[in-house]
Amino acid sequence: MFSKREIEILKNNIKKKLNTLARKIGYNLELKDIEKYHKMDISNEIHNKLLSGKTRYILLEKRILKKIILNKKILSILKETWGHAKCSVKFIFTSRKKMLDNITGFRIARPKKMDFEDVGGEHLDLHYGGIYNYNHKVLYTIWCPLVGFNEKYTLRISSKSHLKKHSVKFISSQNKYVSPVFKKSYAKKFKFFRPRLKSGQAIIFHPNLLHGRSSNFGNKTRVSIDFRIFNKGL
């Protein structure tokens, strides 16, 4: 999907965003190599501020955006399941009421063997924005690693789980907003695997696909981006 140059552009944009966010909260990060983020002297408090759901995104350059919405494989999937390929790329905040166009979210996961656990549990993207949703044609997710491409790093997904009806009674908690994370006892019923990818490759998956709890078992900080492609025909 993306060239090596485009991968570097995305990595640099994330690095710049993290350095800018750090300065805004009075912290001198000076991150130079994003795959060595785990070696920085960063407290959990600072880390959580830098990776807040309110700021964990970057603007997509036009040529990269075109690579997504004009990709032949993506267009084919959208036409087959939606009946058309009219879509938009958005970043989702906690509340569905606020989304940004032409934005991608990014995620940082430090190595688990260093006692870092920067990943969420098994969940669906269907209930985006913390609100129950039952329309399977609302969106697709594209997950693309920028650092970490083998099974030690990649996204943990359950093949064909999108064909199942996942009852919300198995969701682990619910406070002000719906938690999309399922109980461990429910997730154990499914088989998961982690694909081996090449630099520039990505995974596109259904909003009802169970995925997550993808700990980083490598030696580098995993860096990834996740696009939400929304159905403009709804």
Domains by residue range for the chain, with CATH:
4-231 (2.60.120)
The whole-model pTM stands at: 0.93
**229's tokens:** 């492609």
Segment 62-86 shows an average pLDDT of: 94
Segment 153-168 shows an average pLDDT of: 96
User: 53: exposed, middle or buried (C-beta count within 10 Å: 0-12, 13-18, 19+)?
Assistant: exposed
Determine the pLDDT at residue 97: 62
Determine the pLDDT at residue 96: 58
Determine the pLDDT at residue 177: 56
pLDDT tens for residues 22-56?
999 999 999 999 999 999 999 999 999 999 888 89
Contact 232, 87 (CB under 8 A): yes
pLDDT tens for residues 175-214?
555 568 999 999 999 999 999 999 999 999 999 999 999 9
Contact 193, 124 (CB under 8 A): no
> Lowest-confidence range among 13-22, 78-87, 119-128?
119-128
